[in-house]
Amino acid sequence: MTLLIYGIINSVILALYALGFSLCYGISGIANFAHGAFYILSGFVAWNFMNAAGLPFYLAAVLAVAVTGLLGFLFYWALLLRIRGVPLAELIVTFAAGVGMLELLMWRGFYGMRYSLPLFVRGGVEIGPVAVDYQRLCVLTTGVVLVVLLWFFVHHTRIGLAFRAMAQNERTALSIGVESDWIGSLSLALGSALAAVAAMVVLPLGMMESAIGLEVLIYALAVAIVGGLESTVGMVAGSFIIGFGQVAVARYISAKWMIIAPLAAIVLVLVIKPSGLFGKFKELEERV
Amino acid sequence: MNGEPLLQVRDLRKRFGGVQAVFDVGFELRRGEFLGVIGPNGSGKTTLVNLITGFVKPDAGQVLLKGRNITGKMPYTIAGFGIARTFQMVRLFYNLPAYKNLIIPLCSSRFKKLRGGRYGERDDVAIELLDDMGFERDSLVPYKVAGSLPHGYLKRLDLARALALRPEVLILDELFSGMSMSEVASTLPLLEKFNQEGLAIMMIEHRLKELFRVVDRVMVLNFGIKITEGSPAEVMASEEVKKAYLGIQVELE
Amino acid sequence: MVATSVHRRKKRLDRGIKARTDTIFLIASWKDMLYLLLPRMLPVAILLVLPVLVKGYWGKVLVYACIYGLLALSWDFMAAGGLFSLGQALFFGLGAYLAGILNYYLHLPPVVTVPAATLGGGLLSAALLGSVVRLKGVYFAMITLMLPLLFKKVIETTGAFGGTHGLPSLTPFPSELLTAYLAVGGFLGSLFIFRRVINSDYGLVLRAIKDDDRAVMSGAINIYGRKIQAIFISGAVGSFAGALMTHYYQFLGMSVFALDYSILPVAAVALGGQGTFAGAAMGSLILVPLSESLRALGGLRIAIYCGILIVSIIGFPEGLFHYLARKYHQFERVVEVK
């Protein structure tokens, strides 16, 4: 029972980490390696709104999401515009920017006990024999709602359809009047805003540290590789595989080895199906 | 002359999502035979090539080379067995000088086995092969960067690259599309010469006039299904083929 | 533009010494010979003399520069085959840990540990990354980014091989001068060998895989085997750098898997220009001394590398080396256009 409940919660946390990253990649083909940095950055933005500007947490959280989204948007126009379409340059630049951000935060001294976000609600509830606090339930709800919303957005709204067109064939999309740069920047804005949402609900569970940024990125990548990029179902499946894997490893072997779970999952999946469990990569399927 | 077929294809099937690209296609190719494959656009010709050469994994069916099952092997393994191909959209190394493009197949273990290519020797072999192909050795053409050559040359370079493997089966995917009349006229005799030396050629082509002049047999595909197979004259007479090509007048001289 | 103004453009002319292609030169005099040899020999000569001249702190910087340079070279070699790595620290860390373990637990001298770590590191890298060579571009980069961080985590949580404390008091090299020459020699040797290899037929195949792997496959070449070979070579060079560093420091810790060793090589190559190795070497010889002189900024160092990396990729994608080479080989003059 504990395994089940904490497995689900852990998986949803992973899904939240990966959501923004996969969405951004799915829409514009930009693998945003600064994802983890945006995640932790939003935490510090919220913290500053609360402690420097004295705003209540809810307001600070909403503002932080907005600010992070805006930063993502600007990030595209400032850095990615000129190297759009060269995947490896995009990758190196986003990665460097992410690491740079994290190092700057570290340098400014943003680590330690002092920095943490408050819980949404205190207290907890007992589900059978297992005690679960409300914050974790909050995480669960947010995750489920976001995934459903996203699925609806991508499949049933105009702009979502434009996104999908973009993901399938950029040139064709261009020729029917979808603006590549707008889509690119919007995807980045959306991706980083989602990272911020994840941060707002998950960060109160622990301390804020810039090292977490890298961890978030790694988990997002692991989920993306296992589930295959650009597929919502795959992403959810990927996070559940890794999430439950971690909890199971922690329970039956040792918490020390938890980190092995994503690696093992990746290797296993790659051996079975290189394009990820739900990947639609025809290229990879063609074994190229 | 030779009883055992070189290449046997049995009931190949491939589905892409909702499209049945190739359905139960089978045929045989003997040493020194020249097979033409025709069919309207989207009839699964290129997929068939990809299935045989290992670039796409078939859902069902078998490919046998000299009785040995090569279904679903990696493309480089299949090429190493002696099935060479050209690409519909030429795939070359545009940043390299033309003759350096041939170095790639010449570095393969297949070539080493056949000839024992040693260091420095490969350049000579490459330039010689290109000379046959109409890239005159004493002109600048073979040394130019491939990206700067006109389309007809690129097509022939692609052919040269396939031939550099000394294959037993050569699969040409719309080699003549985009070539000028004179280029076609100079390439055809070359293919015929290799063919007479025992090379089995499977040729996918839209330029039927040129195709019918050289091939022994023609196979017709439509919607991934083999409609008919036979000598050019038989195929031309077939009602089904006419239906498939509705509106296209084909004249034989 | 105003109608009366004169349009100008830059006209570029190749020097007459180039014959037929980029790599064949026509040499007619000692001057021509010097023209070609000087830019190649001068840096080599300087690097060979430096260890004798420079001692103490800047001697240390020289060794660092060469060690980072080795990593940059190994990055560039993999990149030449289309394998873009964000985790050169993996190679570095593997080499460092292999050398450290052999020295600490088995008390083997550096004469044994360094070659063993080089070879073993190469093999381990090939084994680890060999299973994922079928992944392309972004996916491959993701895996390379994750591996060193996971290694670090594993060592941290399990406490293996000294855990967070590391392994202290390892055997140093006999003398400072020898270390310097090992680093410089390894660096120049790798540079020379890589430049030769990449222009040979073997390197040609590797570069072709980066361009179009399907076309290479249709040439009956096992591209995955080639890629694994490239990873082995590159991993061996990276591990050599790691082993060198371990014995130089006389200490081995988790930090060998740190991001520094992944970011700096990429930054060096981005600054110097990709594909020639000379660019990678140049980049690291500029970046490392630069970052040492900025040591006062402490933690900001990595952020600065990242800044340089971003600026050079966006603003100067050609790279320093390509730029200088072009300037050296061409006349440029401004002409009027009517």
Are B87 and C222 within 8 A, CB to CB?
Answer: no
Give the three-class secondary structure for B20.
Answer: strand
Residue count of chain C: 338
CB C218 within 8 A of CB B162: yes
Provide the shortest C-alpha distance from residue C215 to chain A (in Å): 10
The residue ranking higher by pLDDT, C197 or A135, is: C197
Q: Which two tokens stand for residue B243?
A: 């239906």
| Sequence-distant (≥ 6) Cβ neighbours of residue A38 within 8 angstroms | A20, A32, A68, A71, A72, A98, A101, A191, A192, A195, A196
pLDDT of residue C24: 63
**Chain B residues touching residue A285 (CB < 8 angstroms):** 57
Helices (H), chain A: 2-28, 35-51, 57-75, 87-107, 134-156, 158-168, 170-175, 180-202, 210-227, 232-252, 260-272, 282-285
Q: Which of B55, B122, B140 sits opposite C214 (nearest CB)?
A: B55
Q: What is the per-residue DSSP string for B207-246?
A: -HHHHHHH-SEEEEEETTEEEEEE-HHHHHH-HHHHHHTT
pLDDT tens for A191-204 read 899 888 888 888 77
C43-337 topology per CATH: ABC transporter involved in vitamin B12 uptake, BtuC (1.10.3470)
**Cβ pair C304, C294 in contact under 8 A:** yes
CB contact under 8 A, B74 and A288: no
Total residues belonging to chain A? 288
Mean local confidence (pLDDT), B24-50: 88
Q: How far is B105 from chain C (nearest CA, A)?
A: 4
Interface confidence, given as ipTM, is 0.84
Q: Is residue B81 scored above 50 in pLDDT?
A: yes
Taking the Cβ of residue B15 and every Cβ of chain A, the question of whether any pair is shorter than 8 Å is answered with no
- In CATH terms, B1-82+168-253 corresponds, of 1.10.10.60, 3.90.850.10, 3.40.50.720, 3.40.50.300, to 3.40.50.300
- Residues C50-59 have pLDDT tens digits of 888 887 888 8
Cα separation, A164 vs A180, whole angstroms: 12
Q: What angle do CA B65, B69, B70 make, to 5 degrees?
A: 75
- A90: nearest Cα among A166, A25, A27: A25
Cα radius of gyration rounded to whole Å, chain A: 19
Hey, is A98 helix, strand or coil? helix
- What pLDDT, on the 0 to 100 scale, is given for residue A278? 59
Collapsing DSSP to helix, strand or coil, A106 comes out as: helix
3-state secondary structure of B141: helix
Q: Contacts of residue A288 in chain B, CB cutoff 8 Å?
A: 55
User: Is the pLDDT confidence value at B253 over 60?
Assistant: no
Mean pLDDT of all residues in A48-71 = 85
Report the mean per-residue pLDDT for chain A: 77
Q: For residue range B51-66, what is the model confidence (pLDDT) as tens digits?
A: 998 888 888 888 999 8
Q: Select the highest-mean-pLDDT range: B118-127, B149-158, B236-245, C130-139.
A: B149-158
Is the per-residue pLDDT at A286 higher than 50? no
Q: What token pair was written down for C89?
A: 């620290």
Please tell me the predicted confidence (pLDDT) of residue A287: 33
pLDDT of residue B15: 84
- Neighbouring subunits of B (3+ Cβ pairs under 8 A): A, C
Q: What is the pLDDT of residue B22?
A: 87
Chains in contact with C, where contact means 3 or more Cβ–Cβ distances below 8 Å, are A, B
Residues in chain A closer than 8 A to B75 (CB atoms): 287
Q: Sort out which chain A residues have CB atoms less than 8 A from B74's CB and list them.
A: 287
Give the phi and the psi of residue B133 in degrees, each rounded to 5: -85, 0
DSSP state of C252: B
Separation of alpha carbons C143 and C186, rounded Å? 28
> Helix, strand or coil for residue C283?
helix
Residue ranges in chain C whose pLDDT is less than 70 = 1-6, 14-26, 298-299, 338
Residue partners of C76: CB distance under 8 A and separation at least 6: C194, C269, C274, C275, C277, C279, C280
A82-91, B36-45, B85-94, C61-70: which has the highest mean pLDDT? C61-70
CB contact under 8 A, A87 and C143: no
Question: Is the per-residue pLDDT at A172 higher than 70?
Answer: no
% chain A with pLDDT above 90:
0
Domain boundaries, chain C: 43-337
Distances (CA, A) of A219 to A41, A214, A216: 17, 9, 5
Q: Which residues contact B148 (CB under 8 A, 6 or more apart)?
A: none
- Using an 8 Å CB-CB cutoff, list chain B residues near C198: none
> Considering only alpha carbons, which residue of chain B is nearest residue A284?
B56
Q: What value does the mean pLDDT take over residues A216-241?
A: 81
Q: Does an H or E element contain C144, and which?
A: helix C137-158
Segment B207-225 shows an average pLDDT of 86
Q: Average pLDDT of B185-208?
A: 88
Q: Cα B116 vs. chain centroid, distance in angstroms?
A: 25
Please tell me which residue of chain C has the smallest CA distance to B88. C215
Q: Are A126 and A59 in contact (CB under 8 A)?
A: no
Q: Which helix (H) or strand (E) holds B62?
A: strand B60-65
**pLDDT band per the 50, 70, 90 thresholds, residue B247:** low
**How many angstroms away from the CA of B135 is the closest CA of chain A?**
31
- Alpha-carbon gap, residue C280 to C286, rounded angstroms: 10
A1 part of contact set with chain B, CB < 8 Å: no
Q: Is B74 on the interface with A (CB under 8 A)?
A: yes
- pLDDT, position A62: 86
Highest mean pLDDT among A77-91, B166-180, C164-178: B166-180
Secondary structure element (H or E) that encloses residue C332, with its range: strand C330-337
Quickly count: other Cβ atoms within 10 Å of residue A77's Cβ: 12
Residues 6+ apart with CB under 8 A from A288: B55, C136, C213, C214, C217
pLDDT band at residue A277 using 50, 70 and 90 as cut-offs: low
Quote the pLDDT of residue B119.
61
Would you say residue B96 has pLDDT above 60? yes
Q: Return the pLDDT at B104.
A: 86
Q: How many CA atoms lie within 13 A of C217 on its CB side?
A: 22
Q: Specify the pLDDT at position C68.
A: 92
Instruction: Report the residue from C20, C200, C219 with minimal CB separation from B104.
Output: C219
pLDDT exceeds cutoff 80 at B5 = yes
The helix-helix angle for A134-156 and A180-202 (nearest 10°) equals: 160
Smallest CA-to-CA distance from A281 within A242, A234, A243 is with A234
Question: Is B76 within 8 Å of C208 when comparing Cβ atoms?
Answer: no
pLDDT for C162 equals 77
What is the average per-residue pLDDT within B190-204?
90
Chain A interface includes C56 (CB < 8 A): no
pLDDT at position B108 over 90: no
Share of chain B above pLDDT 70, in %: 93
The residue in chain A having the minimum alpha-carbon distance to the alpha carbon of residue B47 is A286
Report strand pairing: B60-65 vs B68-69: antiparallel
Where do the structural domains in chain B lie, given as residue ranges? 1-82+168-253, 89-166
- Separation CA C320–CA C326 (nearest Å): 10
Helix axes C56-80, C223-249, angle to 10 degrees: 170
Q: Indicate the burial class of C169 (C-beta count within 10 angstroms; 0-12, 13-18, 19 or more).
A: exposed
Q: Is A256 on the interface with B (CB under 8 A)?
A: no
Q: DSSP per residue over C159-201, as a string?
A: -GGGTTT-B--PPPPS-HHHHHHHHHHHHHHHHHHHHHHHHSH
**Across-strand partners of B7?**
B29, B65
Tell me which of A198-212, B122-136, B164-178 is least confident: A198-212
Q: Transcribe A46-77 into DSSP letters.
A: HHHHHHTS---HHHHHHHHHHHHHHHHHHHII
Residues B212-237 have a mean pLDDT of 86
Cβ of B64: how many Cβ atoms within 10 Å?
A: 16
Of the partner residues A88, A97, A266, the one whose CB lies closest to the CB of residue C137:
A88
Q: How many CB pairs under 8 A join A and B?
A: 11
Q: Please state, in angstroms and rounded to a whole number, the distance separating the CA atoms of residues C326 and B251.
A: 57
pLDDT band at A235 (very low <50, low <70, confident <90, very high): confident
The pLDDT of residue B145 is above 50: yes
Residue type (1 letter), B30: R
C222–chain A Cβ distance below 8 A for any pair: no
Contacts of C33 (CB under 8 A, 6+ apart): C27
For residues A83 and A175, the model is more confident at: A83
**Contacting partners of chain A (3+ CB pairs under 8 A):** B, C
Contacts of C182 (CB under 8 A, 6+ apart): C173, C244
- CA quadruple C195, C200, C201, C203: dihedral, nearest 10: -10
